[in-house]
């Protein structure tokens, strides 16, 4: 059924859509079941069940949860629906798990345009299909006008451990190399520009995507220590997490870190540092120095990683994050303090 | 560490508590890790992990998710923290699963009093302990002032199927009996009174509790067809779900349905019907007629079920919900339409 032909008479969300009665049932059928509960079983959401039994899982069970409050709800390169799938899929992927099932909790604000909800749930369903995960359970709450941000989603994920990826911060050693799978800061910049609050326009698109292919291609390689997706707080924050957890020095080569020209320009105008801006489809890997070139080549063979780069290494000094500049200088990258960009994810 | 001696200098939530940097790390350590990540492993939340590996699960895996937006955040008999645990534990329990693990996603509004957050997360931790479940993963987002309701929680749950409880609406047959585990409408009434919007005061407490003991005591009895907790939309909405799914007639005996006197009084004054008001610690069971007395006795042996009652039966007529009144009349219970009480759970 085309999106412009929504099987619901209401055009906007009202409090009655959250009360457990007829309006709520009709909303759930018209939007959530229509997109996520296709009868062929490929989209198995059962909107009548309290809890659902999953098919047997062929390995150790992993779980995670992520909340999504991005504003605006739709932005170049994605929307809160695709972002919610990718954010949760990515948390499972970087932990060494194969994403399988999602649950979806929605907080809708009274007055929300039903067509917007329809578009983002359709987008969520497409992103789930593409990432190979299924939405198996859901819940909808409606909050009064002025008590919400249009749409908030929480997505929990269940996956199965990949025996070829044994990962952990505690595996990181001095001499390890640091890779990033592509340019940083695109998502944060795209969302910022989409707010039209800065009088700037640009063609920056969010990098919002699943990083599972990036994790999967490293599976089975001996010496893959740790993976993480640099979301809130950006690349710099992941580096601080590594330095703090390991007690080791992290050194980045500024000139090696990929940043798109458009992102760099916007950041220069507005005074942001792209190293602190969120990505939603990039992956950082810490790998043993001797397999760094091999792992990098694996990434560069994928569409998702064709601009991957080796950007630094872990050293034996005290826990701090150092940026080596192209002209031979060094500066300390501080931990992020103030939030320049609320509701970025 | 006692509450009131909070290891955090900030007294209110700011946008920086959601940015991925130092403030967010300190908030998570001071509140979520302090209450949910105790080092003895009884409260195993790992706030540094992207996703966590669960211990091996000894049976088929069940999952569910529920969102919580109750207002006010604290009310007689509970708060959004205990409610969030019970709501999700109950969804697993009535599906025939043994609740094991929870994930917690929090949306906090800028300006929220940190002591309120501390109290409800402490309450959530106690409720999880009491229900025998562990919070294994979490996420926090901060939304700007005016874009939230103080605190919203989403809690996903993972449980293991109880082989002694094979349940489903499709098992319901004409002649089955309908039980309820205790008085209905307490939660809805307590939250309504806590809003002080009606100029009424009363000593109604929410029934917010785990229904797992009620489900567990029926395990292994042949003829338990279906369980559900009557939350949003109340008892009447569960009856409509049964009538619609089975195509059968549901008959309730009005005089047999337990309703607390205080709830009845408030409903009379305000014009509400307690059959449509939310419970958060009651359970409805549909059971074969011949084991109804046995199942009822099992419930009445428990603290949680000492006011349990047999309130009706499933008949062979067309799908509708009929209330037999004490004076011999009949009236149709309609499906809930308008929402009298937003943000009730």
To test the contact with chain B by mutation, choose from A50, A62, A87, A236 the residue with the greatest count of B C-beta atoms within 10 A, namely: A50
Neighbouring C-alpha atoms within 13 Å toward the C-beta of B307: 11
A63 with A195, same domain: the answer is: no
The model's pTM: 0.95
**Residues of B (319-338) whose Cβ lies below 8 Å from A:** 335-338
Instruction: Indicate if A302 and A223 belong to the same structural domain.
Output: yes
B214 and B79 belong to one structural domain:
no
Q: What are phi and psi of A29, to 5 degrees?
A: -70, -40
Residue B295 lies in a domain: yes
pLDDT of residue B149: 93
Whole-number percent of chain B with pLDDT over 70: 97
- CA B183 and chain centroid, separation: 15
Dihedral angle computed from the Cα positions of residues A338, B38, A240 and A251, in that order, rounded to the nearest 10 degrees: 170
CA-based nearest distance B263→chain A, Å: 20
- Residues of chain B found within 8 Å of residue A152, distances taken between Cβ atoms: 107, 141, 143, 152
A291: DSSP letter: G
Question: CB A8: neighbour CB atoms within 10 A?
Answer: 17
Closest CA to B63 of B131, B138, B136, B160: B160
A10 contact residues in B (CB cutoff 8 A): none
Domain of residue A37, CATH code: 3.30.1330.10
Number of CB pairs, chain A paired with chain B, less than 8 A apart: 272
The reply to whether A178 and A326 lie within a common domain is yes
CB of B157 less than 8 A from some CB of A = yes
Q: Name the residue of chain B whose CA is nearest to A245's CA.
A: B48
B296 and B230 belong to one structural domain:
yes
Same domain, B249 and B199: yes
pLDDT at B49: 87
Q: B31-34: long-range contacts at Cβ-Cβ below 8 A with a sequence spacing of 24 or more?
A: B31/B6, B31/B114, B31/B117, B31/B118, B31/B121, B32/B104, B32/B106, B32/B121, B32/B138, B32/B140, B34/B1, B34/B7
Residue A184 and residue A281 in one domain: yes
* Residue B121 and residue B237 in one domain: no
B42 vs A67: which has the higher pLDDT: A67
Cα separation, B18 vs B139, whole angstroms? 10
- Domain that residue B150 falls in: 15-160
A152–B139 C-beta distance less than 8 A: no
Q: What is the mean pLDDT of chain B?
A: 93
Q: Is the pLDDT of residue B325 over 60?
A: yes
Q: Which residues of B touch A147 (CB under 8 A)?
A: 69, 71, 148-149, 343
* Closest-CA residue to A181 (of A208, A223, A214): A214
Q: Which of B114, B137, B160 is the last residue of a domain?
A: B160
Nearest CA to B108 out of B23, B22, B206 is that of B23
Answer whether residue B259 shows pLDDT above 50. yes
Closest by Cα among A122, A106, A67 to B137: A67
Least confident of A35-49, B13-27, B227-241: A35-49
Question: Could you tell me if A207 and A279 are in contact, meaning their C-beta atoms sit under 8 angstroms apart?
Answer: yes
Cβ-based contacts of B18 with chain A (< 8 Å): 232, 339, 342
Q: Is A127 found in the same domain as A211?
A: no
Phi/psi at B341 (5° precision): -140, 80
Q: Is the ipTM of this complex over 0.90?
A: yes
- Most confident option among A194-203, B9-18, B319-328: B319-328
Residue A286 in domain: yes
Rg (CA), chain A: 21
Query: pLDDT digit string (tens) for B92-120?
Result: 999 999 999 999 999 999 999 999 999 99
Residue (of B105, B40, B29, B113) closest to B72 by Cα position: B113
Put simply, whether A181 touches B (Cβ < 8 Å) is: no
A249's enclosing H/E stretch is strand A249-253
Contacts of B92 in chain A (CB under 8 A): 50-51
Residue B343 lies in a domain: no
Let me know whether B143 and B280 are in one domain.
no
Q: What is the pLDDT of residue A1?
A: 38
8 Å CB contact of B65 and A137: yes
- Phi and psi dihedrals of B124, rounded to 5? -60, -40
Say yes or no for a CB contact (<8 Å) between B21 and A237. Answer: yes
Query: Which residues 4-63 on chain B approach chain A with CB closer than 8 angstroms?
Result: 14-16, 18-24, 48-54, 56-57, 60-63
Q: Report CB contact under 8 Å: A15, B339.
A: yes
* Residue A34 pLDDT exceeds 90: yes
Contacts of B210 in chain A (CB under 8 A): none
Helices of type H across A156-260: 186-194, 212-216, 234-246
**Domain boundary pick from B140, B160, B180:** B160
Report A:292-311 residues touching B (Cβ under 8 A): none
In chain B, how many domains are there? 2
At B161, the pLDDT band (50, 70, 90 cuts) reads very high
| Residue B20's pLDDT band (cuts 50, 70, 90) | confident
What mean pLDDT do residues A40-45 have?
76
**Residue of chain A whose alpha carbon sits nearest to that of B237:** A21
Strands (E), B168-221: 177-180
The pLDDT score that the predictor gives to residue B26 is 92
Q: Indicate the residue among A139, A160, A181 that finishes a domain.
A: A160
Position A115 in a domain: yes
Q: Read off the CATH number of the domain in which B212 is found.
A: 3.90.650.10
Task: Give CA–CA dist B295/A258, Å, rounded.
Answer: 66
Cα dist. A85→A302, B18, B248 in Å? 21, 20, 39
Between chains, do A62 and B54 touch, taking CB under 8 Å as contact? yes
In A84-143, the residues whose Cβ lies within 8 Å of chain B are 90-92, 94-95, 97, 101, 103-107, 110, 136-143
**pLDDT value at residue B1:** 39
Question: Which neighbouring-strand residues pair with A313?
Answer: A177, A251
Residue A42, pLDDT above cutoff 90: no
Q: How far apart are CA B95 and CA A48, in angstroms?
A: 11
Closest CA to A145 of B339, B149, B108: B149
Lowest mean pLDDT among A135-144, A148-157, A173-182, A201-210: A201-210
pLDDT tens-digit readout, A327-340: 999 999 999 887 66
pLDDT at B339: 64
CA dist., res. B194 & res. B74, Å (int): 8
pLDDT at A3 over 50: no
Q: Are residues A62 and A104 in the same domain?
A: yes
Res. A4: pLDDT tops 60: no
Say which of B136, B143, B233 has its CB closest to residue A63.
B136
| Whether residue B154 sits in one domain with residue B211 | no
What whole-number distance in Å separates Cα of residue B178 and Cα of residue B200? 33
Strands (E), chain B: 52-53, 61-68, 74-75, 78-79, 97-109, 134-143, 151-161, 177-180, 224-228, 249-253, 284-287, 309-315, 321-324, 330-332
Which of A241, A238, A234, A242 lies closest to A259 in space, CA to CA?
A234
Residue B203, judged by CB atoms within 10 A of its CB (0-12, 13-18, 19+), counts as exposed
A65 reaches B (C-beta below 8 A): yes
**Portion of chain B with pLDDT greater than 90, in percent:** 84
Opening angle at CA B80, ends B75 and B84, nearest 5: 135
- The tens digit of pLDDT for each residue in B121-134 reads 999 999 999 999 99
- Closest CB to B161: pick one of A53, A71, A161: A53
Does residue B328 lie within any of the structural domains? yes
Q: For the residues B57-64, what does the mean pLDDT come to? A: 95
Interface membership of A285 toward B (CB under 8 Å) = no
Q: How far is CA A128 from CA A40, A329, B99, B193, in A?
A: 16, 45, 26, 42
In a domain, B2, yes or no: no
Average pLDDT value for residue range A52-69: 95
In a domain? residue A68: yes
Confirm whether B338 is domain-assigned. no
Partners of residue A20 in chain B, C-beta under 8 Å = 231-234, 237, 278, 336
């Amino acid at each position: 059924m085309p999106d412009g032909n929504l099987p619901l008479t209401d055009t906007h969300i009202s409090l009655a859509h959250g009360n457990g009665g007829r309006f709520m049932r009709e909303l759930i059928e018209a939007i959530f079941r229509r997109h996520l509960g296709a009868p062929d079983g490929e989209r198995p959401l059962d909107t009548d069940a309290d809890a659902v039994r999953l098919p047997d899982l062929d390995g150790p069970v992993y779980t995670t949860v992520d909340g999504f409050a991005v504003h605006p709800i739709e932005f170049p390169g994605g929307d809160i629906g695709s972002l919610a799938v990718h954010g949760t899929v990515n948390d499972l992927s970087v932990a060494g798990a194969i994403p399988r099932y999602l649950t979806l909790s929605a907080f809708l604000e009274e007055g929300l345009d039903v067509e917007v909800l329809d578009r983002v749930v359709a987008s969520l369903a497409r992103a789930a299909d593409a990432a190979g995960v299924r939405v198996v359970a859901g819940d909808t709450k409606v909050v009064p006008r002025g008590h919400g941000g249009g749409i908030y989603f929480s997505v929990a994920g269940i996956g199965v451990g990949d025996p070829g990826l044994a990962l952990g911060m505690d595996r990181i050693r001095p001499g390890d190399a640091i890779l990033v799978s592509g340019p940083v800061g695109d998502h944060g910049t795209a969302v910022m520009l989409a707010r039209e609050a800065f009088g700037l326009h640009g063609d920056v698109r969010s990098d919002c995507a699943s990083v599972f292919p990036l994790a999967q291609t490293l599976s089975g390689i001996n010496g893959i220590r740790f993976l993480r997706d640099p979301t809130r707080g950006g690349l710099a924050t992941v580096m601080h997490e590594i330095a703090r957890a390991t007690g080791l020095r992290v050194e980045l080569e500024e000139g090696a870190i990929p940043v798109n020209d458009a992102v760099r320009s916007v950041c220069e105008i507005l005074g942001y540092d792209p190293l602190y801006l969120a990505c939603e489809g990039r992956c950082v890997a810490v790998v043993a120095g001797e397999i760094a070139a091999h792992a990098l080549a694996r990434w560069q063979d994928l569409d998702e990683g064709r601009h991957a780069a080796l950007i630094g290494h872990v050293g034996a000094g005290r826990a701090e994050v150092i940026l080596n500049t192209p002209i031979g200088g060094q500066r300390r990258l501080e931990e992020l303090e103030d939030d320049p960009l609320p509701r970025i994810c």
